[in-house]
Amino acid sequence: MPQAGSSTTVNPGTPADDEQRANPGDRPRIVLAHDWLVGLRGGERVLHHIARVAQSLGHVEAILTIFDDGGPLTPELDALPRQVSALGGLPGTLKARRWMLPLYPAAVGQLTDRLLGMHQRRPIDLLVSTSSAAIKGLCPPAGVPHLCYCHSPARYLWSQADQYGPLQRLGLRAFGRSLRSWDRSTAAHVTTFIANSTHVANLIKHAYDRDATVIHPPARTIFFTPGNERRGDHWLAVGAIEPYKRFDTAIEAAKLAGAQLRIVGDGSARANLERGAPSNVTFTGRLTDEQLRHEMRTAAVLLFPQVEDFGITAVEAQACGLPVAARNEGGALDIVQDGVTGALCDGSPTALAEAAKRAANCESEECVANAHRFAEDRFEAEIAQILSHALEARASAPARRPPESEPTPRP
């Protein structure tokens, strides 16, 4: 039997029960998978909506995950059983998970065995993973489609290795080649890739040489709406205050333009930025959703100087009628309509300052209309279509009966 963490293309499993497969009274059995469940962020909101769709089409057996802090997420997700890898059950591994990259393939291999066990007890009809790290490497039983909603190929392997600290970069130099090989080979376990942006679809093509269908993630356009507050002339920047978010560029752009800038969020780079920030810059720290919405309803423009896989904050801002000045790379190209709902630029402080001035002249109504292209009901409808197609293909395919002596490979 191959070692856990090695690459295979299919996991044959045991024969499906033909009578169970054929019984029209049986709802399709669907398994979800997510890298880790450690808080409610953008990726977990996507998982929430996929779970809603999956429950409407069949029965969700479980969520497979490498790590789980056991905390509440949403009522829909909290109602589903969770199966956690053996690695995730070890003391101290949750907080240290980002230091355990070399162990991810074995953890995914062990979850593949769990999936196979579920399939042996009663056949699974569909596997849906949402991944930006390793969970897409799950190997489904033979004949079971695996759809992967990919937020990005693993950033620490393919696109942002230089954004990590010295010790992490040292580890990536030691293990990066073997991890990239595993990540690339296990892409064969995915039947269909779904990318959250055109940018990510291009990254998937580069990393895995696979095409991807683009379905933009859902924005809460029912919550983020224009209000009656009076708009000011200050600028806004929102997000985790980490180096790759380029708040330093936003601060310099505001300084050049003599504009007031409010920065919402917290992170490892905040202390250094705050110490060196000029008097026109205010740090608010983390805010509630209601407070953030108020900020988006009262600012003149949102600065978006970073390269994001998608950029849900930019959509939420537009839903509040707030124009966006963005770097013309990454997911922003799918969101910002240059000269209509904001302005695109090369990302330098000078260019961002000029883009902010141009963006401030855009009409709020255009921004709101643009944001509704990313509404939650639109996302669920598009996901339902692709899941339904996979389930129909699965139902029409004959059950495969491999020889009893055929070994069970692990990814």
Q: Quick: pLDDT tens for 348-386.
A: 999 999 999 999 999 999 999 999 999 999 999 999 999
Q: pTM of the prediction?
A: 0.87
Residue pLDDT, tens place only, 114-164: 999 999 999 999 999 999 999 999 999 999 999 999 999 987 775 655 555
Task: Write the CB contacts of 169 (distance below 8 Å, at least 6 apart in sequence).
Answer: 161, 162
Please check the confidence at residue 167 and state whether its pLDDT lies above 60: no
Longest dimension (CA), the chain: 74
Element (H, E) at 166: helix 166-185
Indicate the CATH number for domain 235-372. Answer: 3.40.50.2000
Domain ranges in the chain are 18-218+377-396, 235-372
User: What's the mean pLDDT in 251-257?
Assistant: 98
Pair of tokens at residue 33: 């998978």
Q: How many residues does the chain have?
A: 411
- Rounded distance between C-alpha atoms, residue 302 and residue 383, angstroms: 29
Please check the confidence at residue 100 and state whether its pLDDT lies above 70: yes
Alpha carbon of 336 to those of 27, 130, 357, 369, 389: distances in Å?
Answer: 41, 25, 15, 12, 31
CB burial of residue 208 (10 Å; 0-12, 13-18, 19+) = buried
Establish whether domains 18-218+377-396 and 235-372 are of one fold.
Answer: yes
**Residue 204: count of CB within 10 angstroms of its CB:** 23
The answer to whether the beta carbons of residues 41 and 143 sit under 8 Å apart is: no
Please check the confidence at residue 3 and state whether its pLDDT lies above 60: no
- Rounded distance between C-alpha atoms, residue 24 and residue 33, angstroms: 26
Indicate the CATH number for domain 18-218+377-396. Answer: 3.40.50.2000
